[in-house]
Structure 1
Amino acid sequence: MKRFLFSIGLCTGLLFLITNCSSSKVSNPVPVSTPKTEVIANQVAEQPDNETYIPIPKADRKNFFPETALETHWVDSIYNQMTFDEKVGQLFMVAAYSNKDTIHTNAVEKLVRDYKVGGLIFFQGGPMRQARLTNNYQSMAKVPMFIGIDAEWGLSMRIDSTFCYPFNMTLGAIKDLKLVEKVGVSLAKESKRMGIHFNFAPVLDINTNPKNPIIGYRSFGENKVNVTEHAIALMKGAQGQGVFSTGKHFPGHGDTETDSHSTLPVVNASLDHLEKVELYPYKRMFDEGLVSVMVAHLNIPSLEPREGYPTSISPNVVTNLLKNELGFDGLIFTDALNMKGASNFRKPGDIDLEAFMAGNDILLFAENVPLAAEKICMAYQDSLISDARLAQSVKKILRYKFKAGLNKYKPIEGINLYSDLNPKSNESLQYELYENAVTVVKNDGNILPIKNLNQKIAYVKLGDDTNSSFVTTLKKYTEVTEVSETNIDTLMTKLIDYETVIIGYHKSDKTWWKSPELTVPELQIIDSIASKKKVIIDCFAKPYSLSRIFNFAEIPGVIVSYQNGDIAQQVSAELIFGAIGAKGLLPVSINNTLKAGDGITTQKLNRLGFATPESVGMSSEKLKQIETYAQKAIDGKMAPGMQILVARKGKVIYQKSFGKQTYEGDVKVKNSDLYDVASVTKMVATLPNVMQVYDQKKVALETTLGEMLPLFKGSNKQKITFKELLSHYGRMQAWIPFYKATIDSTTKLPLDKYYRKMYSEGFTKRVSDSLYLRDDYHDTIMKQIIQSPLIDKKEYRYSDFTFIILKQYLERVMGRHLDELATNNFYKSLGMNNTLYNPLTRFDKSVIAPTEIDTYFRHDVIQGYVHDMEAAMEDGVGGHAGIFSNAMDIAKMMQMYLQKGNYGGIQYFSEATFADFNTCWFCTEGNRRGLGFDKPQISGAGPTCGCVSMSSFGHTGFTGTMAWADPETDIVYVFLSNRTYPDSNLPNKLSKENIREDIQKVIQDAIIEK
């Protein structure tokens, strides 16, 4: 860096500005001792990337907004028409609020009308209010004004009802700079929509001091290269859309421990350090075409020897360093002049004059414009300010007003303002940002992702903010128990049976400036748990939060999620269970333990994740039509309520519940509620086990039923092949009402010969709360199936016999009951913890939708007991019915099928086996069925909308359920309802009205990317 002669007295500084001459070099700058800092700051100083950056020639710098002849003509024309007072007015950008009263509004109007201020910086308020005020103020301006805003993480930093992007520190963890550029693009589009020309961002401060009270999250990190590259990406996105970026806070606010809003921070850094670290981003940003710079209120002795003299009013800093040494010729803003870092030094009016004379172009948040304008006028009259100096700033301002399109000013249009400011693409981008930002910094023993779901996992919350999205998402993968207790001994007792404990530390994003440090009691809790259990700690706060943890060595898993918003929580939970892999890099160091740049990639298991429709090429607007059909079904008494889920490309993009459990009740359906899925049981309980047996070559396509089950030898069914059986092509009857033989034909009451009202020896098969069937009745059922006649013609005939028989086969060949097989072979490892037979063994009746008021067999409300009568007579465990589940769990099984037998890193059966089962073996004979799977209709009526691919597969259920997957579009669709309530004998209006199929059509139509 060139060593300028720093002016000691004010007069010398003013003389410099009047003459506008170059500075002289000195060989002995004022010596400054290097301050003592924590290890983290020293680490940055020792970074190998601290070389001096050599800027390119000014002529070669990128220019987003090149000057044109038309621009020069307009600027000169406007300037020449201005009075002196109007020119001075252009120097001021004053504060405006849209949430204040008419006194404030009138005051701003007066400044616009009478003092011809050049710009407004908006603070708190709302979009529509600000738009109206902007239009009003602009209508009064002789020359349209600049509108600026601090929107470092989005307009939401100042305006309600707008989108909040991640903080800069979160973005600093992202390696993919194209994503950061996308943020810049989105920020700019929203700014333009609000008539905003300047976004006072990006922050270029390098947060080398963890105790920095005002920068912190606002910085991209502590590494100058990382900060610079992210800032350039953000700027490119914004300025590429025509919105001006402002680098701040020059020359660097990162290494401070005080807030310039309340005092004047001191930066005791040497010239050499400033050149290599703090100024590095500015040099590179200037070469990349940065439009403007904001100068901070700082006390930097190595740049300004006058004691306590703010950089914002220092000619040495603004003119000598920024303009002359660094060659910056863009717009220069002061930081807000009402901040104590400036206002404590000089009174309003005086501070404005000094700031302008130091070389600033725009005086931000002037507290007293009339007085400041008068002071500038007096300085002009006293020849302290020349015509050339005034023209330099005012013409520069006018040039950028032309570049902003203010030569053809148009008011803000109010129509669709809110929707334009909150496009669906924003949420999709947000997911993508956090998927790339969340950082794993410790993964001892590959504890992440959690592969084994057959373990007891607990969650313990620390911090004072919400955690519901995190916990809800964790529980979508497996059973996770929340354990809450402030007493450590009691807490450890409650955790005694748990193998892994996830500790979430949750601090509010709304109080980002507050210290995020863990309290001593919280640190003691972490230490106690870590000494006994496998711990994963997930920090939803600044990385610095972890700096006080006693013993990192005892914690195998450490995740930094940076912020505590819903999407951050969801994404982090996905990472824990492997739906995504970790990609982020730590932007700042945490003591000596973790260094900036640390980050461990983790394995991505192909478990379902979560995203927005737009993230996977679908339209959320189109998917809203699902609600119309759901409401139609409820209003038409086709079903009292339902769950609907859509996933694409491994991401759940739509999951909603509608209506109530019953028409007359007030219990609303929740996503976690359980439904009797009826015949979907075939596909989620029996079929996957059959596929494993087939995969193990225990049965083949041509194996006969007589070979599979000896009890069928000699029967009319012994030659039915495995392939025919699963294709419903074995000429078997559809079903037999087995229960009717066990009830009185007149009273419809259960016969004492077969039932007892209480559990007793020989009568242990529970069919309802107070009804138990005799144990040997299964043999009677099988005998009736064996002896049943075959239909005359060999044609497709859907039959429950198929899966009743397959249950018998599986239990014989595997030596275990079907419910055990389904749970142990699939549900536990798939994380289907809400899927089971006989749900009342684990769940309260209140979370299970009732299926019918039975007046013909059990004479009771059927809730928590399988609706299908035969399955009920099998102690609730049928091969064709009996499973209770929710849409999320069913989606996991369907995703496993879609992934050809693979889920969560486990290959349940081979791809070849799935291909065999998803083949329609008898299509040429008019049979659409695969092996166990239903397939789209070949002609005429069928189970689908007729708009899915022929490679798609699924099943429907009598209670009003449907689960379908399409490999070609990579979509899973689940619909669960209790349409049979209150009376299953009523016409099936859900089916007749094609509600499930119409929703499937909506899903297909919502695909944007084919």
Structure 2
Amino acid sequence: MTSPTTCSKNRRLFSRREMVWLSGTALLTGRAWGVLSEGDRKWAEAKLRQLSLAERVGQMMSVHKGVAGLREGLRVGKAGSLQVPRAGKTTARDVVEFNNEIQSLTRIPLITMGAVEAGMGKVAREATVFPNNMAIGATDSEELAHAAARVTAKEARALGIFWPGVTVADVNSNPLNPIINTRSFGDSPEKVSRLLVASIRAVQDERLISTANHFPGHGATSQDSHLELPTVDRTREELDRIDLPPFRAAIAAGVGTMCTAHICYPALEPDQKLPATMSKAILTKLLRDELGFEGFVHSDSLMMEAITRNFTFADAAVQSVRAGCDVLLAYPDWEECFKAVLTAAEKDGEFRSRVDESAGRLLAWKRWVGLFDAKPIDLESCLAVLSNPAHKNTAARVARASMTAVRGNEFLSSLSQRERPLCIVGRQRRPDPSHAALLELLRERWPEATSFELEVEPTAERLRELDGRAKGADAVIFLGFTEVRNNHPDSVRFPKRQAEAVARLSRDVPLAVLCFGSPYAVDGFPDARALACAYDKIPVCLSAAVDALLGKQPWPGKPPVKLG
């Protein structure tokens, strides 16, 4: 349990206002949520004694469906957790059948992972997809954050998933952050903390494992750790003030697991080439000893280029365990990771003790979520949960509450009364049905408006055509898309030539800009009469945005980040 010394250190790191709020959080959540009972711990100790060293190492390995030798590896206990298949066409039947099969192969049940953000609809197409975290941040509603996470957790359990997904605890303090951005609740540590805790409570209400990513904070980066090893040059005081408060709040709420960041923090780790994932100073001294974290620590994927460009896979695995990682996201080189950790444990008694500590934690959490008593999933029961209309209605509530007028609310309210509005729908960099769905909604609900589809790289001929359409309009509304994507650092802005083509129209015609994606994108239109954000491109956000333009619903959201 957390020591009095740790509590005293945590108190010094919070402001008086944060301490008052966190005290209420602890009362609301119950400190025991996600904190294992003495019975769980003793049971895990007894179970651990029944496992070979290889099986104990296996508990620390997290794999996914695509790895070579999956089924044979599961039979001999080389994995403790597994990411379920997920893709646009994956059905509930696919997930249920897969989960039932793989659990039948193991002597010790696996913690199955959703490894997604924004709902189980990313795992099974019958399930619910929610707007991204920044949309939830725009609602500033703990009730909606809790409701969205509760639906996700209910659907996860119905699918046989015990570790539903990723809850981002990062404070997005860099507008050009190429990989967090809309995955964050916003740029306020206090807001991120409140909404994060509401999400954690919801997941653990369903007796599932909650998580907080990416310790000790990924929000300040200007680099993508999927591509390179970033460095955050903040002082310890800045980290305490900006990045660490959500993680402290998560710990106070009893969060089950923390995901590490493949980022260097010179203020925390003297070796400036060592990322948090491999830093004992960060994962043990800071996270466990100082902040009092009692759950299990899992690495981000060891196949990200922040790791593979700088370390061998075997060295990364062993160093991560020494630092304090309990679970290694080891795909696709699962076998190499397993052998490296097992060999180190066979040769080094201190390292073997670390393996025992980690395997014991995982066993205790498996008991806490009920894995050892779980029965095969019934598909009909699963589908009954996924088809609950209240779940989709919750997603729509979040979308409607997030619609945000950054400025020019009066102008936005006047658009439905215009006689000759021109709606310019920007295509995305990556082919996607969203812009086509938006065009269809506009034609169906706003037949008086003229619609124009603008390419990512419009030709001179198309630009002339656009100018001609704009001259006949009494208002122009640009509806553009951005998308935070791995390996695409520029994806948080509108395509350059597309944005330039729209911006110059504001000289002659009043312009409104509505962004489906990163709110920072609207800052590129200083002369626009109105700026608005819808945050996401999923159907409920498209629908809410069109209704708001038509005056059928208000713009109740508030920008979750500083703009302008």
Provide TM-score, normalisation by structure 2: 0.86
Are 2:548 and 1:586 aligned? no
Cα 1:92–1:217 change in 2 (3 A) is same
2:100 corresponds to which residue? 135
Are 2:436 and 1:460 aligned? no
C-alpha distance in 2, partners of 1:92/1:276?
34
> Quick one: which of 266, 278, 282 aligns to 1:313?
278
Cα 1:403–1:534 change in 2 (3 A) is same
- Contact persistence 2:26–2:253 (CA under 8 A): no
Counterpart of 2:553 in structure 1: which amino acid?
Answer: I
SS of alignment partner, residue 211 of structure 2: strand
> Quick one: which of 536, 560, 564 aligns to 2:533?
560
C-alpha distance in 2, partners of 1:378/1:481?
67
Are 2:162 and 1:197 aligned? yes
C-alpha distance in 1, partners of 2:295/2:485?
33
- Contact persistence 1:292–1:333 (CA under 8 A): yes
* Structure 2 residues not aligned, in runs of 5+: 7-13, 429-433, 455-460
Are 2:59 and 1:95 aligned? no
C-alpha distance in 1, partners of 2:119/2:384?
15
C-alpha distance in 2, partners of 1:88/1:204?
28
> 1:447, CA displacement in angstroms?
1.6
* The structure with more radius of gyration: 1
- Contact persistence 1:439–1:582 (CA under 8 A): yes
1:442 corresponds to which residue? 407
SS of alignment partner, residue 507 of structure 2: helix
Deviations 1:306-339 (A, max 9, x none): 1311210111111001000101111111111222
> 1:85, CA displacement in angstroms?
2.1
Are 2:337 and 1:361 aligned? no
- Contact persistence 2:26–2:252 (CA under 8 A): no
1:945 corresponds to which residue? none
SS of alignment partner, residue 447 of structure 1: helix
Cα 1:423–1:310 change in 2 (3 A) is same
Counterpart of 2:243 in structure 1: which amino acid?
Answer: E
C-alpha distance in 2, partners of 1:374/1:471?
54
Are 2:82 and 1:109 aligned? no
> 1:564, CA displacement in angstroms?
2.4
2:218 corresponds to which residue? 253
Are 2:269 and 1:327 aligned? no
Cα 1:441–1:56 change in 2 (3 A) is closer
Are 2:51 and 1:82 aligned? yes
> Quick one: which of 313, 316, 319 aligns to 1:351?
316
Indicate the larger mover: 272-281 or 345-354: 345-354
> 1:216, CA displacement in angstroms?
1.7
SS of alignment partner, residue 225 of structure 2: coil
1:543 corresponds to which residue? 519
Cα 1:428–1:305 change in 2 (3 A) is same
- Contact persistence 2:415–2:421 (CA under 8 A): no
2:249 corresponds to which residue? 284
SS of alignment partner, residue 313 of structure 2: coil
C-alpha distance in 1, partners of 2:188/2:385?
36
C-alpha distance in 2, partners of 1:489/1:346?
52
- Contact persistence 1:298–1:310 (CA under 8 A): yes
Are 2:354 and 1:389 aligned? yes
> 1:422, CA displacement in angstroms?
4.5
Cα 1:447–1:393 change in 2 (3 A) is same
Query: Superposed, which structure 2 residues align to 1:294-693 within 5 Å?
Result: 294-365=259-330, 367-385=332-350, 388-415=353-380, 417-418=382-383, 420-443=385-408, 446-450=410-414, 453=417, 455-464=419-428, 466-469=435-438, 472-473=441-442, 476=445, 479-483=448-452, 487-488=462-463, 490-507=465-482, 515-549=491-525, 551-552=526-527, 555-590=528-563, 593=564
2:178 corresponds to which residue? 213
Cα 1:522–1:400 change in 2 (3 A) is same
> 1:270, CA displacement in angstroms?
0.9
- Contact persistence 1:509–1:563 (CA under 8 A): no
C-alpha distance in 1, partners of 2:355/2:453?
65
C-alpha distance in 2, partners of 1:279/1:328?
13
Query: Superposed, which structure 2 residues align to 1:159-198 within 5 Å?
Result: 159-160=124-125, 162-198=127-163
> 1:509, CA displacement in angstroms?
8.2
- Contact persistence 2:178–2:485 (CA under 8 A): no
1:62 corresponds to which residue? 31
C-alpha distance in 1, partners of 2:16/2:214?
20
Query: Superposed, which structure 2 residues align to 1:815-894 within 5 Å?
Result: none
> 1:344, CA displacement in angstroms?
3.0
Cα 1:285–1:481 change in 2 (3 A) is same
- Contact persistence 1:338–1:366 (CA under 8 A): yes
2:10 corresponds to which residue? none
Larger RCO (alpha carbons 8 Å, 6+ apart): 2
> 1:452, CA displacement in angstroms?
6.8
Deviations 1:360-416 (A, max 9, x none): 111222554444444444434444426653432222211111111012121222236
Indicate the larger mover: 299-308 or 184-193: 299-308
- Contact persistence 1:297–1:312 (CA under 8 A): yes
Indicate the larger mover: 52-61 or 400-409: 52-61
SS of alignment partner, residue 99 of structure 2: helix
SS of alignment partner, residue 351 of structure 1: helix
Deviations 1:275-317 (A, max 9, x none): 1111110011111121111111111111112131121011111
Deviations 1:486-536 (A, max 9, x none): 655554443444322222224568899561423444334333332222322
Indicate the larger mover: 419-428 or 578-587: 419-428
> 1:73, CA displacement in angstroms?
4.9
> 1:548, CA displacement in angstroms?
2.4
* Structure 1 residues not aligned, in runs of 5+: 1-21, 24-47, 98-103, 594-1010
Provide TM-score, normalisation by structure 1: 0.49
Are 2:64 and 1:118 aligned? no
Are 2:237 and 1:267 aligned? no
Q: Aligned pair count?
A: 535
- Contact persistence 1:261–1:340 (CA under 8 A): yes
C-alpha distance in 1, partners of 2:19/2:250?
11
SS of alignment partner, residue 379 of structure 2: coil
> 1:232, CA displacement in angstroms?
1.4
2:11 corresponds to which residue? none
C-alpha distance in 2, partners of 1:201/1:358?
22
C-alpha distance in 1, partners of 2:228/2:485?
23
C-alpha distance in 2, partners of 1:90/1:499?
64
C-alpha distance in 2, partners of 1:66/1:220?
25
C-alpha distance in 2, partners of 1:534/1:308?
51
Cα 1:145–1:500 change in 2 (3 A) is same
Cα 1:493–1:295 change in 2 (3 A) is closer
Counterpart of 1:587 in structure 2: which amino acid?
Answer: P
> 1:419, CA displacement in angstroms?
5.4
C-alpha distance in 1, partners of 2:276/2:365?
25
| Identity in percent | 22
Cα 1:153–1:163 change in 2 (3 A) is same
> 1:160, CA displacement in angstroms?
4.8
Counterpart of 1:494 in structure 2: which amino acid?
Answer: R
C-alpha distance in 2, partners of 1:375/1:137?
24
C-alpha distance in 1, partners of 2:121/2:39?
36
